[in-house]
Amino acid sequence: MISHKIVLHFPTRIVNKPIVSKLIRDYDLEFNILKAQIIPDAEGLMVLELKGKQEEYDRGIKYLKDSGVIIDALSQNVLRNEQRCTHCGACVTICPTGAFELNTTTRKISFIDKKCIACGLCLKGCPPRAMEVRF
Ligand code: SF4
Ligand code: SF4
């Protein structure tokens, strides 16, 4: 069983098609929608966690790509601007998934992008606006 968090971009020409419902119906995958922004006749975006056997996952991803969906790994979209980060630690308590960790020796804050679900809370909570989400 594997699990991946991915970002799906739906170009305008396919945003009204039932692509995700077919993915869930025809492929043996568990899914969890973490964020969705689908507006009829405009570009759409969905952050999805997909779980299943590697073979089914690969088939599902191929189906999405063949349908015209553009896929990114989630970690490619949430970034920390290292020049701006002051290691103040505010994000450690804000983040619901524990994607920030304090190193008690150096007092520096690490950002573990694999834990991020792109909820966006740290964007507003970071005083120097060091966190960026690029979709
Ligand atoms: S809240 Fe912003 S500045 Fe403070 S540690 Fe987190 S990312 Fe860095
Ligand atoms: S976007 Fe949400 S989950 Fe990701 S690092 Fe920021 S607070 Fe954590």
Task: Please provide the DSSP assignment of 61-125 as one string.
Answer: HHHHHHTT-EEEEGGGTEEE-TTT-----HHHHH-TT--EEE-TTT--EEE-GGG-----HHHHH
Q: What is the pLDDT of residue 135?
A: 61
Domain tally for the chain? 2
Using most ligand atoms within 8 A of CB, pick from 80, 84, 88, 124 the residue to mutate for ligand 1. Answer: 88
**19-26 and 54-66 are packed helices; what angle lies between their axes, rounded to 10 degrees?**
150
Beta-carbon contacts of residue 7 (< 8 Å; ≥ 6 apart):
45, 46, 47, 48, 71, 72, 73, 74, 76, 77, 118, 135
- Mark which of 72, 90, 125 sits at the end of a domain: 72
122 shares a domain with 66: no
Span from the CA of 86 to the centroid of ligand 1 (angstroms): 6
Pair 6, 68 in one domain: yes
Residue nearest (by alpha carbon) to ligand 1 atom 3? 85
Judged by its nearest atom, the ligand closest to the C-alpha of residue 95 is: 2
Residues 6 and 65 in one domain: yes
Residue type present at position 64? L
pLDDT at 68: 95
Looking up residue 95, the CATH number of its domain turns out to be 3.30.70.20
pTM above 0.75, yes or no: no
Same domain membership, residue 110 and residue 61: no
Give the range of the structural domain holding residue 64, as residue numbers without chain letter.
2-72
Token output for 113: 């992008």
Phi-psi region of 118 (alpha: psi -120 to 50; beta: other; left: phi over 0): left
CA of 14 to the centre of ligand 1 (A): 38
Domain match, 68 and 81 both: no
Are 94 and 50 part of one and the same domain?
A: no
| Beta bridge mates, 71 | 8
Q: What is the CATH number of the domain that holds 15?
A: 3.30.70.260
The answer to whether residues 49 and 28 belong to one domain is yes
Q: Is 50 in the pocket of ligand 2 (CB under 6 A)?
A: no
Check residue 128 and give its pLDDT.
97
* pLDDT per residue as tens, the chain (135 positions): 888 888 899 999 998 889 988 998 999 999 888 888 877 778 888 888 899 999 999 999 999 999 999 998 776 678 999 999 999 999 999 998 899 999 999 999 999 988 887 777 899 899 999 999 776
- Determine the pLDDT at residue 30: 92
Question: If DSSP codes are grouped into helix, strand and coil, which group holds residue 13?
Answer: helix
Q: Do 124 and 97 share a domain, yes or no?
A: yes
For ligand 1, atom 5: residue with the closest CA: 87
pLDDT at 37: 81
Same domain? For 62 and 113 the reply is no
pLDDT value of residue 75:
65
